[in-house]
Structure 1
Amino acid sequence: MNYLPLFINLKSKNVLVIGAGEVAFNKIKLLLRSKAKVNVIAKELCLEMKSLLRHKKINWLSKKFDLIYLKKMFLVISATNDIKLNEYIFKKCNERCLLVNVVDDTLKCSFIFPSIIDRSPIVVAISSGGTAPVLLRLLREKIEAILPMKLGNVAKIAGKWRSVIQKHFSNLLERRRFWEKLFKSIFVNHILNGKKEQAIKILKENMHKNNLLPGEIILVGAGPGDSGLLTLKGLQILQEADVVLYDFLVSKDILDLIRRDAKTICVGKRAGFQNMNQDEIIKLLIFLAQKGKKVVRLKGGDPFIFGRGSEEIEAAKNAGINFQVVPGITSAIGISAYTGIPLTHRKYAQGVIFITGHKCINGFVNNWSILSDSSYTLVVYMGTFQAVYIAKKLITLGRSKSTPIAIISHGTTIHQKVIIGCLSEIEKIIQFTTTPSLLIIGDVVFLHKKLAWFQNENILNNIKKNFSIVKLL
Structure 2
Amino acid sequence: MQYFPMFLDLKGKPVLVVGGGEVACRKVETLVRAGAIVTIISPAIEDFLQTLVSQGECQWQQNFYSNEVMDSKFVQVWATTDNPQLNHQVYRDAKKRGILVNVVDDLPYCDFITPSIVNRGRIQIAISSGGASPVLVRNIRQQFEYVLPQNLTLQAEFGASKRTDIKQKLPSVELRRKFWETFFDLPLVESATNRQQLEAQYQHLLSDNVTDKGSVTWIEYGDDFELLSLKALRLMQKAELVLYPQQCPFVFVDSVRRDAERIEFSDEARLGEQLKMAIDAKLRVVVFIAEKSAKYNLLIGKDLRLSLAKA
Normalised by the length of structure 1, the TM-score is 0.61
Tell me the alpha carbon deviations over residues 300-346 of structure 1, each in whole angstroms, 9 at most, x when there is no partner: x41x426x332532xxx5xxxx62111236xxx98xxxxxxxxxxxx
The match for 2:243 among 220, 224, 245 is: 245
C-alpha separation between the residues in 2 aligned to 1:95 and 1:228?
A: 48
- Tell me which residue corresponds to 1:327: 307
- Tell me which residue corresponds to 1:263: 261
- Tell me which residue corresponds to 2:9: 9
After superposition, the Cα gap between the structure-2 partners of 1:277 and 1:148, relative to the gap in structure 1 and judged at 3 Å, is closer
C-alpha separation between the residues in 2 aligned to 1:179 and 1:73?
A: 39
**Secondary structure at 2:243 match in 1:** strand
Letter in 1 for 2:35: K
**Secondary structure at 2:43 match in 1:** coil
User: CA contact under 8 A between 1:222 and 1:298: conserved in structure 2?
Assistant: yes
Tell me the alpha carbon deviations over residues 153-191 of structure 1, each in whole angstroms, 9 at most, x when there is no partner: 111011101221122101233222221222222541463
C-alpha separation between the residues in 1 aligned to 2:6 and 2:218?
A: 34
After superposition, the Cα gap between the structure-2 partners of 1:136 and 1:17, relative to the gap in structure 1 and judged at 3 Å, is same
User: CA contact under 8 A between 1:25 and 1:48: conserved in structure 2?
Assistant: yes
Structure with bigger helix share is: 2
Letter in 2 for 1:312: L
Letter in 1 for 2:208: K
1:48-63 matches, cutoff 5 A: 48-61=48-61, 62-63=63-64
C-alpha separation between the residues in 2 aligned to 1:155 and 1:143?
A: 17
How far residue 83 of structure 1 moved from its aligned partner, in angstroms, is 1.7
Give me the identity figure in percent: 30
- Tell me which residue corresponds to 2:24: 24
1:13-412 matches, cutoff 5 A: 13-61=13-61, 62-66=63-67, 68-189=69-190, 191=192, 193-194=193-194, 196-224=195-223, 226-267=224-265, 276-299=266-289, 301-302=290-291, 304-305=292-293, 308-313=295-300, 317=301, 323-328=303-308
User: CA contact under 8 A between 1:218 and 1:296: conserved in structure 2?
Assistant: yes
How far residue 252 of structure 1 moved from its aligned partner, in angstroms, is 3.3
Letter in 2 for 1:326: L
User: CA contact under 8 A between 2:151 and 2:191: conserved in structure 1?
Assistant: no
C-alpha separation between the residues in 1 aligned to 2:251 and 2:16?
A: 39
Letter in 2 for 1:48: F
Letter in 1 for 2:304: Q
After superposition, the Cα gap between the structure-2 partners of 1:82 and 1:190, relative to the gap in structure 1 and judged at 3 Å, is closer
**Secondary structure at 1:70 match in 2:** coil
After superposition, the Cα gap between the structure-2 partners of 1:53 and 1:198, relative to the gap in structure 1 and judged at 3 Å, is closer
C-alpha separation between the residues in 2 aligned to 1:44 and 1:259?
A: 50
C-alpha separation between the residues in 2 aligned to 1:323 and 1:215?
A: 11
C-alpha separation between the residues in 2 aligned to 1:91 and 1:69?
A: 10
C-alpha separation between the residues in 1 aligned to 2:153 and 2:145?
A: 13
Q: Gaps spanning 5+ residues in structure 1: where?
A: 268-275, 335-473
Following superposition, which runs of at least 4 residues in structure 1 exceed 6 angstroms of deviation? Answer: none
Name the count of aligned residue pairs.
Answer: 310
**Secondary structure at 2:105 match in 1:** coil
User: CA contact under 8 A between 1:174 and 1:211: conserved in structure 2?
Assistant: no
Tell me the alpha carbon deviations over residues 356-379 of structure 1, each in whole angstroms, 9 at most, x when there is no partner: xxxxxxxxxxxxxxxxxxxxxxxx
After superposition, the Cα gap between the structure-2 partners of 1:33 and 1:221, relative to the gap in structure 1 and judged at 3 Å, is same
User: CA contact under 8 A between 2:218 and 2:306: conserved in structure 1?
Assistant: yes
Q: Gaps spanning 5+ residues in structure 2: where?
A: none
Larger Rg: 1
**Secondary structure at 2:288 match in 1:** strand
C-alpha separation between the residues in 1 aligned to 2:55 and 2:36?
A: 15
After superposition, the Cα gap between the structure-2 partners of 1:222 and 1:277, relative to the gap in structure 1 and judged at 3 Å, is closer
User: CA contact under 8 A between 2:216 and 2:284: conserved in structure 1?
Assistant: yes
How far residue 249 of structure 1 moved from its aligned partner, in angstroms, is 3.0
Tell me the alpha carbon deviations over residues 102-157 of structure 1, each in whole angstroms, 9 at most, x when there is no partner: 10112221211111111111111111211111222222222111223322111101
Which is worse superposed, 283-292 or 241-250? Answer: 241-250
**Secondary structure at 1:328 match in 2:** coil
After superposition, the Cα gap between the structure-2 partners of 1:283 and 1:221, relative to the gap in structure 1 and judged at 3 Å, is same
User: CA contact under 8 A between 1:114 and 1:125: conserved in structure 2?
Assistant: yes
Letter in 2 for 1:305: S
C-alpha separation between the residues in 1 aligned to 2:152 and 2:70?
A: 40
User: CA contact under 8 A between 1:218 and 1:323: conserved in structure 2?
Assistant: yes
How big is the alpha-carbon RMSD for the aligned residues of Structure 1 and Structure 2? Answer: 2.2
User: CA contact under 8 A between 2:14 and 2:38: conserved in structure 1?
Assistant: yes
